[in-house]
Structure 1
Amino acid sequence: MATTFRRGWRTKAEPVLLKCNDGGEYVVKGQQAGRQIVNDQITARIGFAIGAPVGEPKIVEVSAELIAIEPRLSHIPSGTAHATLFIPDCRDDCGLIATSEPENRSRFALLAVLYGWVYANDIQFIFKKNPPRLVYSVDHGHFFPGGPNWTERDLIQAPQAELNSYLCENCNFTPDEISSALRELESVSEATIIQAVAAPPSEWGLTLDERVTLVEYLTRQQQQLLTFL
């Protein structure tokens, strides 16, 4: 349950930073963001499953009472919202930096796998301000074929899965780095994929048929990527 407003960001989805009753602070997107929060939640969950550097996903409740006393939450409907644990002391950077940091090599390799698995659009990174400048991937609302407007047809007709070319070209991964990341993907069970797709609450508008198609899509993409082992 969200208890305290901390700050907001002036981006299209208008996320906010909220403190919750577990003591943690979370970057929260409300249901006004539409299908973006479905994409965000599922991508964060499967990214977390392979150990990729993404925010830890949660679903939080934003009460009507909190919205009533905090005008800066007026754009967020009451109810459940997508959230990821806030990662402090980071800088926003849309460019690819710190690829030479040894600690980031495996992190970027895992992201190359995650991005190829889900199908990445509008890639966004943040980096820790101090060395080692650890990379994190954030804001996955436009992932999946078709972005936030994807349909079942988009998923069914998606092209063959490939490792993310942008990261592969810029990071020049070794075969061992890619193999290690793919082994993490291989360890993800169908049950884990099902749990990730089941996570978005029904009020987010994801139908049963769409969930089934998502599971089939992610399972197919996983198997296609594993041919690179």
Structure 2
Amino acid sequence: MVALTDWDGLVSGRTDSYNTLRLVAILAPGGQSWASPFRGIADDDHDYFIKTLEGCRRDWARGSLAVEYVVGQAGRLIDAPVCENTLIRIPEEFADYEIAPGIALSPGIAHASKAIEHAEEQRDNLAYRSQDRNSARHAGVYALYDWCYGDDPQWLYDRDQDRSIYSHDHGLYLPPHHGTLDVEILKQCADEPNPLPDAADGLDPEAIASKQPAGAQSVMAAGPASI
């Protein structure tokens, strides 16, 4: 078990020197949603949906970008079906580019989620369980939602891959569920279950077993050794 004190000092002295992935072109501006994600091409020749601090329409919700990054990375630890997410640098040449009405880019670090070219988005109950490997992929969705205290569930189905499911847009996961990080609330909720309410019949039993992290502790309690 990792103690909260093990987090002390982990980010002191850090800079924004990240330069592994860079934005090279903007394909479409952001909309009117929570964080005004816009579509762009990075220097790895892939398309990404990109969220920036200035794109968050409420200053107090800027923590949603950190939450989204952490949950996406946690999903990869248990092989949950999450969209590939990463940091991305916004170069100086995009300074003041208007990504949404009244919202201009600033150079720096942003959050990027790799685009699925032909995606079908849904927000209601999980669907297409019998298609592709979704009986196993759905098990990862349930595990991630409970482990990271999910809220505002959103799914993408890849129409090019028999509607394989992806969980995405995790900015409102982790309590208190409005894009902020509150240490005391996280501690209070660390041992509380948060099951996805969808019916779980038809899930792959082997996938269920593989998605149970050792000790069944939540990501809030697991600490830096887990994320």
Asked if 1:6 is matched to 2:27, the reply is yes
CA RMSD of superposed structures (Å): 2.7
Asked if 1:16 is matched to 2:38, the reply is yes
Confirm or deny: 8 A CA contact 2:148 2:219 kept in the other structure. Answer: no
Asked if 1:217 is matched to 2:226, the reply is no
Which structure 2 residue ranges, 5 or more long, are not aligned? 1-21, 57-61
Q: 2:106 aligns with which of 62, 65, 77?
A: 77
Aligned to 1:200: none
Report the Cα distance in structure 2 between the residues aligned to 1:136 and 1:216, rounded to whole angstroms: 22
Partner deviation per Cα, 1:38-58 (whole Å, 9 max, x = no partner): 000000111112111111121
Q: State the SS of the aligned residue for 1:160.
A: coil
Asked if 1:178 is matched to 2:208, the reply is yes
Q: Give the TM-score normalised by the residue count of structure 1.
A: 0.74
Say if 1:125 and 1:9 are closer, same or farther in 2 by CA, change over 3 A: farther
Partner deviation per Cα, 1:140-196 (whole Å, 9 max, x = no partner): 0000010212310011100534362324x24453644421222xx349xxxxxxxxx
Q: Give the TM-score normalised by the residue count of structure 2.
A: 0.74
Identity of aligned residues (%): 21
Confirm or deny: 8 A CA contact 2:80 2:144 kept in the other structure. Answer: yes
Partner deviation per Cα, 1:50-109 (whole Å, 9 max, x = no partner): 1111111211111232134x4336433321001121121111111222122251011110
Report the Cα distance in structure 2 between the residues aligned to 1:7 and 1:171, rounded to whole angstroms: 40
Q: State the SS of the aligned residue for 1:72.
A: strand
Deviation at 1:4, TM superposition (A): 0.2
Q: State the SS of the aligned residue for 2:189.
A: coil
Aligned to 1:26: 48
Confirm or deny: 8 A CA contact 1:99 1:171 kept in the other structure. Answer: no
Say if 1:128 and 1:215 are closer, same or farther in 2 by CA, change over 3 A: closer
Q: State the SS of the aligned residue for 1:65.
A: helix
Confirm or deny: 8 A CA contact 1:94 1:125 kept in the other structure. Answer: yes
Asked if 1:125 is matched to 2:162, the reply is no
Say if 1:174 and 1:21 are closer, same or farther in 2 by CA, change over 3 A: closer
Confirm or deny: 8 A CA contact 1:118 1:218 kept in the other structure. Answer: no
Say if 1:100 and 1:141 are closer, same or farther in 2 by CA, change over 3 A: same
Say if 1:215 and 1:52 are closer, same or farther in 2 by CA, change over 3 A: closer
Report the Cα distance in structure 2 between the residues aligned to 1:106 and 1:84, rounded to whole angstroms: 22
Report the Cα distance in structure 2 between the residues aligned to 1:127 and 1:171, rounded to whole angstroms: 20
Confirm or deny: 8 A CA contact 2:40 2:47 kept in the other structure. Answer: yes
Confirm or deny: 8 A CA contact 1:55 1:84 kept in the other structure. Answer: yes
Q: State the SS of the aligned residue for 2:68.
A: helix
- Equivalent residues in 2 for 1:29-178, closer than 5 Å: 29-32=51-54, 33=56, 34-68=62-96, 70-72=97-99, 74-95=103-124, 96-101=126-131, 103-130=133-160, 132-147=162-177, 148-158=179-189, 160-162=191-193, 164-167=195-198, 169-173=199-203, 175-178=205-208
How many positions carry a matched residue from both structures?
192
Which structure 1 residue ranges, 5 or more long, are not aligned? 188-213, 223-229
Q: State the SS of the aligned residue for 2:208.
A: helix
